[in-house]
Homo-oligomer: A and B are copies of this chain.
Amino acid sequence: MMPARALAQPVPGSPARTRERLLEAAERLFAERGFRATSVRALTSEARCNVASVNYHFGGKEGLYREMFRRRLVALREQRIAGIRRAMDEAGGSASLELTLQAFTTAFLEPHLDQSGGRRLMRLFSRELLEPHLRPGTLQREMVEPVRRALTEALQSACRGLDSRSARRCVHSVVAQLVHVVQMRNAPGAMRDKELRDFSLADAVDHIVRFSAAGIRACLS
């Protein structure tokens, strides 16, 4: 009778398989078509369950969207930040600028270039940035800002003498290039023969590291 509250977890022993299948279907379809273009009936058809299940388990279409998003958000953020921290530690206190950039660039790009989950997540983020269905600024607060802050710290520790204002701007420049690579690879008709070669993982990393290292050093003044 009474639908499960959003916060309540199903009893571990119980099946609750539909709930999981719905979350997976939501991840696929919302990423491919966007929130509005994905109908509840398409979701439940993909998850092979009844239409009412969405309202029963998540209280509505938006509830499913939010829950699907929430799960992935913290995981990806922690993975990213851990990658940055690891790169800093590996290179020790004397982390060269190039090594730090290389580590972060690879860590950022790698999960997005596979065919499976990574690309979908980036599409979800792009869409959520363009028209939010979470509380306003959630993505910025929970994902963009923490990663940006960690990277800024790493950059300042790898490049002494970089004031925090310049550091923030340089991080912007680096992140912009990374995001752009991902977006170009995800855009439907964006990649044509020649350009696709320019965006191969290894070459892209090499270029961004070289370009950005020089750019950052020019901001030391």
Contact mask A131-157 → B, CB, 8 Å, 1/0? 110001110110010000000000000
CB nearest to A199 among chain B residues: B172
Query: When the two chains form their complex, are residues A169 and B198 in contact, meaning their CB atoms are under 8 A apart?
Result: yes
Query: When the two chains form their complex, are residues B187 and A180 in contact, meaning their CB atoms are under 8 A apart?
Result: no
A17, CB-defined interface residue at 8 Å = no
Contacts of A214 in B (CB 8 A): 214-215, 217-218
Query: When the two chains form their complex, are residues B188 and A177 in contact, meaning their CB atoms are under 8 A apart?
Result: no
Q: Which stretch, A57-65, A108-116, A122-130, touches the partner chain B?
A: A122-130
Q: Which stretch, A18-26, A79-87, A205-213, touches the partner chain B?
A: A205-213
Interface centre among A123, A130, A198, by most chain B C-beta atoms within 10 angstroms, is: A130
Query: When the two chains form their complex, are residues A187 and B37 in contact, meaning their CB atoms are under 8 A apart?
Result: no
Query: When the two chains form their complex, are residues B207 and A211 in contact, meaning their CB atoms are under 8 A apart?
Result: no
| Residues of A163-221 contacting chain B, CB below 8 A | 165-166, 168-170, 172-173, 175-177, 179-181, 183-184, 187-190, 192, 195, 198, 207-208, 210-219
Contacts of A33 in B (CB 8 A): 131
Q: Among B127, B130, B131, B219, point to the contact of A211 (Cβ < 8 A).
A: B219
Contacts of A192 in B (CB 8 A): 140
Q: How far is the CB of A169 from chain B (nearest CB, A)?
A: 5
Query: When the two chains form their complex, are residues A207 and B176 in contact, meaning their CB atoms are under 8 A apart?
Result: no
Contacts of A160 in B (CB 8 A): none
Contacts of A181 in B (CB 8 A): 172, 176
Query: When the two chains form their complex, are residues B177 and A172 in contact, meaning their CB atoms are under 8 A apart?
Result: yes
CB nearest to A204 among chain B residues: B169
With contact pairs A177-B173, A219-B207 given, residues A187 and B127 touching in the complex (Cβ less than 8 Å): no
